[in-house]
Amino acid sequence: MRTVYIEPLPIRRIDFTNPVEKSQHDELAALADKMLHLNKRLHNELEQMTFLQICDEINPNRLPLKGMGDRFRIAITDSKRKKLTSQVIETFELGDGELGLKDDKLTARIQADETAISFLRAYLAHIEAETLDTLNAEYPKLEEKIRNLPVPDLTIEEMSQALSRWEEIEKEKESLVREIQDTDNLIDAKVFRLYGLEREEIVTVLDSLGTEEEIKTDILNKWERETEG
Protein backbone atom coordinates (compact mmCIF):
# COMPACT_ATOMS: atom_id res chain seq x y z
CA MET A 1 0.00 0.00 0.00
CA ARG A 2 1.34 3.42 -0.97
CA THR A 3 0.64 6.47 1.19
CA VAL A 4 -0.22 9.54 -0.86
CA TYR A 5 -0.15 13.02 0.66
CA ILE A 6 -2.49 15.51 -0.96
CA GLU A 7 -1.96 19.24 -0.78
CA PRO A 8 -5.08 21.44 -0.94
CA LEU A 9 -5.65 22.80 -4.43
CA PRO A 10 -4.63 26.47 -4.55
CA ILE A 11 -7.20 29.11 -5.47
CA ARG A 12 -7.17 29.23 -9.24
CA ARG A 13 -6.93 32.75 -10.62
CA ILE A 14 -8.93 33.20 -13.80
CA ASP A 15 -7.41 35.23 -16.59
CA PHE A 16 -10.52 36.89 -17.97
CA THR A 17 -8.49 38.27 -20.88
CA ASN A 18 -7.99 34.67 -21.98
CA PRO A 19 -11.11 33.63 -23.94
CA VAL A 20 -10.66 29.95 -23.05
CA GLU A 21 -10.36 30.55 -19.30
CA LYS A 22 -13.22 33.05 -19.32
CA SER A 23 -15.39 30.50 -21.13
CA GLN A 24 -14.52 27.83 -18.56
CA HIS A 25 -15.35 30.25 -15.73
CA ASP A 26 -18.69 31.17 -17.30
CA GLU A 27 -19.58 27.49 -17.73
CA LEU A 28 -18.85 26.78 -14.06
CA ALA A 29 -20.82 29.84 -12.96
CA ALA A 30 -23.82 28.70 -15.03
CA LEU A 31 -23.62 25.19 -13.55
CA ALA A 32 -23.41 26.62 -10.03
CA ASP A 33 -26.58 28.64 -10.69
CA LYS A 34 -28.25 25.50 -12.03
CA MET A 35 -27.29 23.56 -8.89
CA LEU A 36 -28.74 26.33 -6.72
CA HIS A 37 -32.04 26.20 -8.65
CA LEU A 38 -32.25 22.39 -8.57
CA ASN A 39 -31.53 22.17 -4.85
CA LYS A 40 -34.04 24.90 -4.09
CA ARG A 41 -36.74 23.09 -6.06
CA LEU A 42 -35.96 19.77 -4.35
CA HIS A 43 -35.32 20.78 -0.74
CA ASN A 44 -37.28 24.01 -0.33
CA GLU A 45 -40.33 23.06 -2.35
CA LEU A 46 -40.94 19.40 -3.16
CA GLU A 47 -39.56 17.88 0.05
CA GLN A 48 -41.61 20.32 2.12
CA MET A 49 -44.91 19.26 0.56
CA THR A 50 -47.12 16.94 2.59
CA PHE A 51 -49.79 14.55 1.41
CA LEU A 52 -52.42 16.71 3.11
CA GLN A 53 -51.22 19.73 1.13
CA ILE A 54 -51.78 17.74 -2.05
CA CYS A 55 -55.32 16.97 -0.87
CA ASP A 56 -55.88 20.69 -0.31
CA GLU A 57 -54.61 21.42 -3.82
CA ILE A 58 -57.08 18.94 -5.28
CA ASN A 59 -60.00 20.32 -3.29
CA PRO A 60 -59.28 23.64 -1.50
CA ASN A 61 -62.84 23.64 -0.13
CA ARG A 62 -62.81 20.10 1.22
CA LEU A 63 -64.39 19.42 4.59
CA PRO A 64 -62.17 19.03 7.66
CA LEU A 65 -60.63 15.63 8.37
CA LYS A 66 -63.24 13.00 9.14
CA GLY A 67 -62.94 9.96 11.38
CA MET A 68 -62.17 6.88 9.32
CA GLY A 69 -65.10 5.03 10.89
CA ASP A 70 -67.43 7.73 9.56
CA ARG A 71 -65.91 7.60 6.09
CA PHE A 72 -65.49 3.83 5.56
CA ARG A 73 -67.10 0.61 6.73
CA ILE A 74 -64.61 -1.05 9.08
CA ALA A 75 -64.63 -4.48 10.76
CA ILE A 76 -62.14 -4.67 13.63
CA THR A 77 -60.75 -7.92 15.02
CA ASP A 78 -58.19 -8.64 17.69
CA SER A 79 -55.82 -11.21 16.17
CA LYS A 80 -54.57 -12.39 19.57
CA ARG A 81 -58.02 -12.54 21.15
CA LYS A 82 -57.16 -9.94 23.75
CA LYS A 83 -59.32 -7.14 24.99
CA LEU A 84 -59.02 -3.87 23.12
CA THR A 85 -57.18 -2.14 25.95
CA SER A 86 -55.26 1.11 26.02
CA GLN A 87 -52.21 1.17 23.79
CA VAL A 88 -50.23 3.89 22.11
CA ILE A 89 -50.28 3.83 18.32
CA GLU A 90 -46.89 4.54 16.78
CA THR A 91 -47.60 3.59 13.21
CA PHE A 92 -50.24 2.04 10.97
CA GLU A 93 -49.63 -0.40 8.17
CA LEU A 94 -52.14 -0.90 5.39
CA GLY A 95 -52.09 -4.12 3.43
CA ASP A 96 -54.71 -5.30 0.97
CA GLY A 97 -57.66 -3.63 2.61
CA GLU A 98 -56.43 -4.39 6.11
CA LEU A 99 -55.24 -1.78 8.53
CA GLY A 100 -53.00 -3.18 11.23
CA LEU A 101 -50.61 -2.14 13.94
CA LYS A 102 -46.97 -3.13 13.66
CA ASP A 103 -47.27 -5.58 16.54
CA ASP A 104 -50.19 -7.24 14.68
CA LYS A 105 -52.40 -7.27 17.77
CA LEU A 106 -55.24 -5.63 15.94
CA THR A 107 -56.43 -5.51 12.36
CA ALA A 108 -59.21 -3.57 10.73
CA ARG A 109 -60.82 -4.76 7.51
CA ILE A 110 -61.75 -1.72 5.45
CA GLN A 111 -64.51 -2.08 2.90
CA ALA A 112 -63.57 0.29 0.10
CA ASP A 113 -62.59 0.17 -3.55
CA GLU A 114 -59.01 -0.15 -4.74
CA THR A 115 -58.54 3.59 -5.24
CA ALA A 116 -59.58 4.38 -1.68
CA ILE A 117 -57.29 1.67 -0.30
CA SER A 118 -54.35 3.04 -2.32
CA PHE A 119 -55.17 6.54 -1.12
CA LEU A 120 -55.28 5.44 2.53
CA ARG A 121 -51.99 3.59 2.12
CA ALA A 122 -50.29 6.74 0.81
CA TYR A 123 -51.91 8.92 3.46
CA LEU A 124 -50.92 6.63 6.34
CA ALA A 125 -47.36 6.37 5.03
CA HIS A 126 -47.03 10.14 5.43
CA ILE A 127 -49.29 10.78 8.40
CA GLU A 128 -47.90 13.44 10.72
CA ALA A 129 -46.65 12.48 14.18
CA GLU A 130 -48.73 15.29 15.68
CA THR A 131 -51.90 13.64 14.34
CA LEU A 132 -51.05 10.36 16.06
CA ASP A 133 -50.14 12.15 19.29
CA THR A 134 -53.57 13.81 19.35
CA LEU A 135 -55.29 10.52 18.54
CA ASN A 136 -53.49 8.71 21.36
CA ALA A 137 -54.30 11.47 23.82
CA GLU A 138 -58.01 11.66 23.02
CA TYR A 139 -58.93 7.99 22.59
CA PRO A 140 -57.74 5.36 25.09
CA LYS A 141 -58.89 2.21 23.28
CA LEU A 142 -57.38 0.85 20.10
CA GLU A 143 -60.75 0.41 18.47
CA GLU A 144 -61.55 4.06 19.16
CA LYS A 145 -58.21 5.16 17.75
CA ILE A 146 -58.80 3.33 14.48
CA ARG A 147 -62.39 4.46 14.05
CA ASN A 148 -61.45 8.08 14.81
CA LEU A 149 -58.24 8.16 12.77
CA PRO A 150 -58.66 11.42 10.82
CA VAL A 151 -58.63 11.05 7.04
CA PRO A 152 -59.18 13.63 4.28
CA ASP A 153 -62.82 13.73 3.19
CA LEU A 154 -62.41 13.42 -0.58
CA THR A 155 -64.43 11.77 -3.31
CA ILE A 156 -63.01 8.72 -5.06
CA GLU A 157 -62.18 10.87 -8.08
CA GLU A 158 -60.36 13.38 -5.88
CA MET A 159 -58.47 10.56 -4.17
CA SER A 160 -57.32 9.35 -7.59
CA GLN A 161 -56.19 12.87 -8.49
CA ALA A 162 -54.29 13.20 -5.21
CA LEU A 163 -52.52 9.88 -5.81
CA SER A 164 -51.54 10.92 -9.34
CA ARG A 165 -50.24 14.27 -8.14
CA TRP A 166 -48.22 12.64 -5.33
CA GLU A 167 -46.74 10.15 -7.79
CA GLU A 168 -45.72 13.04 -10.05
CA ILE A 169 -43.97 14.73 -7.14
CA GLU A 170 -42.13 11.55 -6.15
CA LYS A 171 -40.97 11.04 -9.75
CA GLU A 172 -39.82 14.66 -10.01
CA LYS A 173 -37.86 14.30 -6.76
CA GLU A 174 -36.12 11.19 -8.08
CA SER A 175 -35.34 12.98 -11.34
CA LEU A 176 -33.95 16.01 -9.50
CA VAL A 177 -31.69 13.85 -7.33
CA ARG A 178 -30.23 12.28 -10.48
CA GLU A 179 -29.85 15.66 -12.23
CA ILE A 180 -28.19 17.21 -9.17
CA GLN A 181 -25.66 14.38 -9.00
CA ASP A 182 -25.01 14.58 -12.75
CA THR A 183 -24.48 18.35 -12.56
CA ASP A 184 -22.21 18.00 -9.54
CA ASN A 185 -20.13 15.42 -11.41
CA LEU A 186 -19.86 17.74 -14.41
CA ILE A 187 -18.70 20.60 -12.17
CA ASP A 188 -16.01 18.37 -10.68
CA ALA A 189 -14.88 17.32 -14.16
CA LYS A 190 -14.64 20.93 -15.34
CA VAL A 191 -12.75 21.99 -12.21
CA PHE A 192 -10.23 19.18 -12.70
CA ARG A 193 -9.83 20.31 -16.29
CA LEU A 194 -9.39 23.93 -15.20
CA TYR A 195 -6.60 22.92 -12.81
CA GLY A 196 -4.95 20.76 -15.45
CA LEU A 197 -4.99 17.57 -13.38
CA GLU A 198 -4.04 14.25 -14.92
CA ARG A 199 -6.22 11.15 -14.66
CA GLU A 200 -4.09 9.58 -11.91
CA GLU A 201 -4.22 12.79 -9.89
CA ILE A 202 -8.00 12.95 -10.24
CA VAL A 203 -8.36 9.35 -9.09
CA THR A 204 -6.18 10.13 -6.06
CA VAL A 205 -8.32 13.15 -5.16
CA LEU A 206 -11.60 11.26 -5.56
CA ASP A 207 -10.33 8.26 -3.60
CA SER A 208 -9.21 10.54 -0.78
CA LEU A 209 -12.78 11.86 -0.60
CA GLY A 210 -14.26 8.36 -0.48
CA THR A 211 -16.11 8.90 -3.76
CA GLU A 212 -18.36 6.02 -4.82
CA GLU A 213 -17.09 4.02 -7.80
CA GLU A 214 -20.12 4.83 -9.98
CA ILE A 215 -19.76 8.55 -9.35
CA LYS A 216 -15.97 8.41 -9.82
CA THR A 217 -16.38 6.65 -13.16
CA ASP A 218 -18.90 9.24 -14.35
CA ILE A 219 -16.64 12.15 -13.32
CA LEU A 220 -13.68 10.60 -15.15
CA ASN A 221 -15.78 10.02 -18.27
CA LYS A 222 -16.97 13.61 -18.19
CA TRP A 223 -13.40 14.85 -17.61
CA GLU A 224 -12.20 12.88 -20.64
CA ARG A 225 -14.90 14.43 -22.83
CA GLU A 226 -14.05 17.88 -21.48
CA THR A 227 -10.35 17.33 -22.17
CA GLU A 228 -10.98 16.01 -25.68
CA GLY A 229 -13.26 18.95 -26.38
Q: Dihedral of the CA atoms 166, 172, 178, 179 (nearest 10)?
A: -160
Which among 99-103, 115-119, 145-149 has the top mean pLDDT? 115-119
Domain spans, the chain? 19-47+169-228, 63-153
Model confidence at 8: pLDDT above 60: no
Average pLDDT of the chain is 81
Per-residue pLDDT, 79: 54
What's the maximum distance between 2 C-alpha atoms anywhere in the chain?
A: 82
Of 70-74, 167-171, 204-208, 225-229, the one with minimum mean pLDDT is 70-74
Q: Under 8 Å CB-to-CB from 149, ≥6 apart: which residues?
A: 67, 68, 92, 135
Per-residue pLDDT, 1: 43
pTM of the predicted protein model: 0.74
Q: Are 151 and 68 in contact (CB under 8 A)?
A: yes
What whole-number percentage of the chain has pLDDT above 70?
77
What whole-number percentage of the chain has pLDDT above 90?
40
**Burial class for 30, CB neighbours closer than 10 Å (0-12, 13-18, 19+):** exposed
* pLDDT tens string 40-96: 999 999 999 989 899 989 988 876 778 877 877 766 665 554 544 444 444 455 444
